[in-house]
Structure 1
Amino acid sequence: MYDFLGAPGSLARGTVTVDVTNALRQGIVTLELEPGVMLDKNAICAQLGVSRFPVSEAIARLAEEGLVDIAPQRGSTVSLIRIADVREYMLIRKGIESEALRVLIGKHDASVISALHANMAAQRDAAQRDDEEAFHQIDVEFHDIIFTSMRLNKVKSVIDKTRANLDRARRLIITPRRLNDTIAEHQAIFDGILAKNERQAITAIRAHIDAVMIELFAFATEHPLMFADGAEFTANKDDFPFG
């Protein structure tokens, strides 16, 4: 069950707790550890060849990030995704990325344009290879390139703190069709940037975020038990500020 964590004794001395935290976070975000699954501390310790302390500390840190639920005397489980949280995070992203595009188009930085060109090519290559994990990372990089143009580290920090739960949610709806749709949506954003057309680019980024949320909402409607608030959110489907 925990083979994805690596081989026993593979962690570096002095950074064991950080490495265990990162490994477990990666497993949760990539859905190797599915929402709701119980975490077996003894099995994790055995897999990594470490004591219980770094594993307990790692789980505590992940609980602070909202990725793990700790129940006294009952153990720890991977937290269920909350649609309400994802909705708020995506609304924040919609606003921030719209402003980032205003900054980028105002500067039209040649190095950023070059990076976006390369990223779009990499997206198409990953989609052709049907490499979902590579595509996901390239997708994240596309948005990071836009954020970087703002040179506002605190803003990026806010986004990074929400990323783990957003990534979990987005992975649930990855399909070959979604990959192709994402490429088309990213190209529309890039076309607006290249045309130095602020309205075109911002309309495209908002449409992209809306499209992702509409698909995620449809998935949650069909699979409410995979979400902490699936039943509640489905019952209030009219309260949906996307699309």
Structure 2
Amino acid sequence: MKTEAGPYDFLPAAGTFSRGSVTLDVTNTLRHAIVTLALPPGATLDKSALCQQLGVSRFPVSEALARLAEEGLVDIAPQRGSTVSLVKIADVREYMLIRKGLEGEALRVLIGKHDAEVIAALHANMAAQREAASRDDAETFHQIDVDFHDVLFRAMRLTKVKAIIDKARANLDRARRLIITPRRLNHTIAEHQAIFDGILAADAPQAITAMRAHIDAVMVELFAFAQDHPSLFADGDAFTAEDNDFPFG
């Protein structure tokens, strides 16, 4: 007899997690579901249903939700339960400004070294982006997009800089996924190619300008999306065109 699907049947089934890392595994599983929008902004998190789906006790789920609350991905209200936090436009603005400064300077460090492994990795990454876009595979494309930027930091061993960007990434990834469309995929490929062209030419100003233009283009679309869909953002109702004060250029 076929059982009725539960509200979290997209999550791993009971028996998936090993005993020694249940809390960490549950945290990672829920984080992934939130970041990929499988659990969208504002969604209610039914702790009992989560326990049933994942086949775990209440403790690891409660601990996972507490950890995700610290990361700004979950809101926990006493006596009212937990929900997936809404994206904050103000936070996205700050995180993208951090990326704009750090990734530009990272390019300045990289360019001129013309590391053959980095060039090969970026060539392969660009090819993978085009292949994923041709299949309209937004999720795979997103992971390849993230890796494009990570290649730069891995090459220079800028672990502290990468750690700062990674800390901001979960909320940024949610916001960026909201605007993924076939058109945005193609624009991203063109923007990445412009950055890569600057690297290949060993032209730091060209590459940095392209990186800043790439981040600016994403912010323009995010601001427009926030104005059209304010309910998905914690500060969406208060956001107006006048708040679009990101330092473009």
| Band of TM-score, shorter chain | over 0.9
- For the aligned residue pairs, the C-alpha RMSD in angstroms reads 1.0
Map 1:54-203; keep pairs closer than 5 Å.
54-203=60-209
- When the two structures are aligned, how many residues end up with a matched partner? 243
Task: Give the alignment's TM-score, normalised by structure 2.
Answer: 0.95
- Measure the CA separation in 2 of the matches of 1:195 and 1:223: 41
Question: Alignment partner of 1:5: what SS?
Answer: coil
Instruction: Say which of 214, 220, 231 aligns to 1:225.
Output: 231
Moved over 4 A (4+): none
Can you list the C-alpha shifts for 1:61-104, whole angstroms capped at 9, x where unaligned?
00000000010111010000000000000000000000110111
Partner letter of residue 182 of structure 1? T
Map 1:8-87; keep pairs closer than 5 Å.
8-87=14-93
Deviation at 1:235, TM superposition (A): 5.9
CA contact (8 A) 1:220 1:234 kept: no
- Measure the CA separation in 1 of the matches of 2:84 and 2:131: 33
- Measure the CA separation in 2 of the matches of 1:156 and 1:226: 28
Instruction: Say which of 4, 9, 12 aligns to 1:3.
Output: 9
- Measure the CA separation in 2 of the matches of 1:242 and 1:230: 21
Shift in alpha-carbon separation, 1:159–1:127, aligned structure 2, 3 A: same
Question: Alignment partner of 2:82: what SS?
Answer: strand
Gaps of 5+ in 2: 1-6
Deviation at 1:155, TM superposition (A): 1.1
Partner letter of residue 224 of structure 2? A
Shift in alpha-carbon separation, 1:201–1:14, aligned structure 2, 3 A: same
Can you list the C-alpha shifts for 1:20-75, whole angstroms capped at 9, x where unaligned?
00000000000010101110000000001100000000000000000000101110
Can you list the C-alpha shifts for 1:138-192, whole angstroms capped at 9, x where unaligned?
0000000012233121111111111000000000000000000000000000000
Can you list the C-alpha shifts for 1:115-142, whole angstroms capped at 9, x where unaligned?
0000000000000011110000000000
CA contact (8 A) 1:224 1:234 kept: no
- Measure the CA separation in 2 of the matches of 1:185 and 1:238: 22
Deviation at 1:3, TM superposition (A): 1.6
CA contact (8 A) 2:153 2:162 kept: yes
CA contact (8 A) 1:100 1:149 kept: no
- Measure the CA separation in 2 of the matches of 1:25 and 1:232: 27
Task: Give the alignment's TM-score, normalised by structure 1.
Answer: 0.98
Deviation at 1:238, TM superposition (A): 4.5
- Measure the CA separation in 2 of the matches of 1:154 and 1:70: 30
Gaps of 5+ in 1: none
